[in-house]
Amino acid sequence: MPTSLPASSTQTSAEFHVNCILLPTDFSDASDRAACVARGVANHFRSKLFMVHAVWQKNYEWDASLYELEPSEDIGHKLTNQFVVNHKLDVLPHEVIVSSGSPLDVIKRVVEDKNIDLIVMGTNGLQGPAKLLFGNYSEQIYRNAICPVLTVGPHVSPAKCSGNFQSIVFAMNPETAATADALRYAIALTRACDAYLTVASILSESQDVHGEELYKMEEQRHAQIVKMLAECQLALPHKPEIIVETGHISEEIIKIAVGCGADLIVKGIRPATSVSGLSDLQPGHTYPISVNAHCPVLTVGGFLGPSCH
């Protein structure tokens, strides 16, 4: 059920800033993709890049020659500095941080110490021991982060790694607590990039409703989206499109993104629910979208994003 909604006439003086970007690296192909996206975003927003490498015993399992060197901060600095040069990140304001500890602990510490606005990281979508350092922890990182996290999966083409977001799909689930913050963030980003916004909401096929009942549910969801967009009171640069469909949620969101030629998918994220915050993650649709999408995926948690007012 696609439809268009006129842009809001309410203007705001609020500006969107991404002053500090954190780019974790484990020197894998996933990190290479993330570096391209981070460079593009940093160029657009004139951000400072923080390249972060966590040194710990399992750092180099994916490369036997590196593993034989034994993890150390000296090796980490050398490899990270070479990573910066290889990806032409040295032309941007940047800082290299190499610290001993688990990736989760190191990233959390840097985010807090450096007032990071955005984490950009690669993920490979592999399972079990085949996962690389940050690919293994990507879901835990974005569920526990206190800032938005942009993941670049294995199916993202080089053309979608420029960090130039002209078409943005917001995957909306009105029942998720983080949706309001994520929508405000998506709209603010859309404005900052002069992009086109598509709001997509998928009714789960598991509800097993059809005909008139399904039509009414889609109409109700459409009305919810219109109301939330109106409540945000931010003028969009182009008329947004609303799409309400029924099907497998992650698959349909990816299909819609492909159809829109999307450069970015934005989605609210449920926080981790365990006591430690590092395990027992609830299954959901964010991870399948992140590792199967053809474009980067930005997750926004239940923290306060850019204000609408």
Confidence category of residue 133, pLDDT binned at 50, 70, 90: very low
Q: What is the pLDDT of residue 282?
A: 41
**pLDDT higher at 288 or 44:** 44
Task: Say how many CA atoms lie within 13 Å of 90 toward its Cβ.
Answer: 8
pLDDT reading at 64 higher than 50 = no
Q: What is the pLDDT of residue 271?
A: 59
Q: What is the pLDDT of residue 205?
A: 67
Q: Does domain 2-13+161-300 have CATH number 2.60.40.10?
A: no
- Averaged pLDDT, 218-231: 89
Confidence category of residue 280, pLDDT binned at 50, 70, 90: very low
Confidence category of residue 166, pLDDT binned at 50, 70, 90: very high
- Averaged pLDDT, 119-126: 80
Q: What is the pLDDT of residue 213?
A: 80
**Which structure tokens are listed for 263?**
């450069």
CA–CA separation, 163 and 159 (whole Å): 9
Contact (CB, 8 A) for 266 and 168: yes
pTM for the model: 0.84
Least confident of 35-49, 132-146, 270-284: 270-284
Region 20-158: CATH code: 3.40.50.620
CATH 3.40.50.620 in the chain is located at 2-13+161-300, 20-158
pLDDT reading at 72 higher than 50 = yes
Gyration radius of the chain's alpha carbons: 20
DSSP structure class, residue 47: P
Considering 21-25, 29-33, 172-176, the range whose residues carry the highest mean pLDDT is 21-25
- Averaged pLDDT, 92-120: 92
Kind and range of the H or E run holding 203? strand 196-204
Q: What is the pLDDT of residue 196?
A: 96
